[in-house]
Chain A
């Protein structure tokens, strides 16, 4: 089983471990627009990029590899022109881009947790066979972010509450919703690394560090990445 943390003398929370395992399963499985093998390859290219190792790929086209590397090492300098160029490239669409971003950032986040604690990175998962479903939600609309997003009614059954009271969710929550499964994934790993949706409303959630300490770290990481949002 992945993420056993054998021999690791750190109190890693159960929710953190379960969210890591869930993420590895999701990455390894076929998505809506990429196969499991392609998704694992996306994670591999992203992991190498974090070490400034611009590796190539036998199965991903150049634009996908470039997009992964840019997202990992130069995210502060992305712009709408770059996005339009990427999605117009051979083998890319806005749907495939959104799925790629989700795999890159979730895999990166888990690796970053390990790096911050000085732990070895987990071996990437073995891909699961099968074809992508190639299904785009009918409710998808172009709103204020670059890719289209879906409203609450376009989310998977049971996930509607993940948008809270807002029909289109907060911008960062709905950003990857063109692949509706991403919204659940986003929340699950947030709970594993940061706070659950319910805890985000609490002034003093059950963590070892205080809420102001949590938010100070969050703000510092955002500033280091020059992220306006």
Chain B
């Protein structure tokens, strides 16, 4: 979804998918490092979270903060549905992401076993 949305975005010259797995990598998405740091702090419930909230409000805006929190909350749910039900990748996703899953090291995840 990230790659597809980036292909259709005027605001993005080039996407670096490493930004999804490596917090030091620049994804190429505007304010991407701030947003992924916020996501990580929210998922790990670290002390950095309040400061990152303030930074998002300051650099992006308060509605942006609320919308970012919603996305974090949504995917904290979706990953547990996927993991809790042992679902494999859909065929169309498997074919479309074959090239990047290896590069990102996703096959190391235990849940990769759910996809033959």
Chain B residues, Cβ within 8 Å of A145: 85-88, 114
Inter-chain contact A113/B69, CB cutoff 8 Å: yes
With known contacts A11-B66, A176-B85, A109–B11 Cβ distance under 8 A: no
Inter-chain contact B65/A109, CB cutoff 8 Å: no
B36 → chain A closest CB, angstroms: 4
Contact among B2, B40, B60 for A219, CB-based, below 8 A = B2
With known contacts A113-B70, A215-B5, A75–B42 Cβ distance under 8 A: no
Contact among B45, B53, B107, B110 for A77, CB-based, below 8 A = B110
What residue of chain B has the Cβ atom nearest to residue A107's Cβ?
B77
Inter-chain contact B84/A75, CB cutoff 8 Å: yes
A94 → chain B closest CB, angstroms: 10
Interface Cβ pair total, 8 Å cutoff = 248
B11, B27, B70 — which one has the most chain A CB atoms within 10 A of its CB?
B70
Per-position binary interface string of chain A over residues 60-104, scored 1 when its CB falls under 8 Å from any chain B CB and 0 otherwise: 000000000001100111111001000000000000001001001
Chain B residues, Cβ within 8 Å of A203: 5, 8-9
Inter-chain contact A225/B9, CB cutoff 8 Å: no
Does residue A44 face the partner (Cβ distance < 8 Å to B)?
no
Chain B residues, Cβ within 8 Å of A72: 80
What residue of chain A has the Cβ atom nearest to residue B36's Cβ?
A220
Per-position binary interface string of chain B over residues 50-79, scored 1 when its CB falls under 8 Å from any chain A CB and 0 otherwise: 100100000011111111111111111111
With known contacts A116-B73, A118-B53, A10–B66 Cβ distance under 8 A: yes
What residue of chain A has the Cβ atom nearest to residue B81's Cβ?
A175
List which A190-229 residues lie within 8 A (CB) of chain B.
Answer: 190, 192-194, 203-204, 207-229
A145 to B54, CA, bound (A): 41
Does residue A189 face the partner (Cβ distance < 8 Å to B)?
yes
Inter-chain contact A216/B27, CB cutoff 8 Å: yes
Inter-chain contact A172/B83, CB cutoff 8 Å: no
A27 → chain B closest CB, angstroms: 13
B42, B85, B110 — which one has the most chain A CB atoms within 10 A of its CB?
B85
Inter-chain contact A208/B80, CB cutoff 8 Å: no
Does residue A110 face the partner (Cβ distance < 8 Å to B)?
yes
**Could you tell me which B residues sit within 8 Å of A by CB distance?**
1-2, 5-6, 8-9, 11-12, 15, 17, 19-21, 27, 29-32, 35-36, 38-40, 42-45, 49-50, 53, 60-90, 101, 104, 106-107, 109-115
Does residue A144 face the partner (Cβ distance < 8 Å to B)?
yes
Does residue A12 face the partner (Cβ distance < 8 Å to B)?
yes
With known contacts A101-B85, A108-B80, A213–B66 Cβ distance under 8 A: no
A78 → chain B closest CB, angstroms: 5
Does residue A54 face the partner (Cβ distance < 8 Å to B)?
no
Does residue A13 face the partner (Cβ distance < 8 Å to B)?
yes
Chain B residues, Cβ within 8 Å of A3: none
Besides the known contacts A112-B73, A210-B29, A216-B2, 13 further A-B residue pairs in the complex with CB atoms under 8 A apart: A78-B110, A112-B76, A113-B72, A117-B66, A176-B85, A189-B74, A193-B70, A194-B71, A217-B75, A220-B40, A226-B110, A228-B107, A228-B114
B92 → chain A closest CB, angstroms: 9
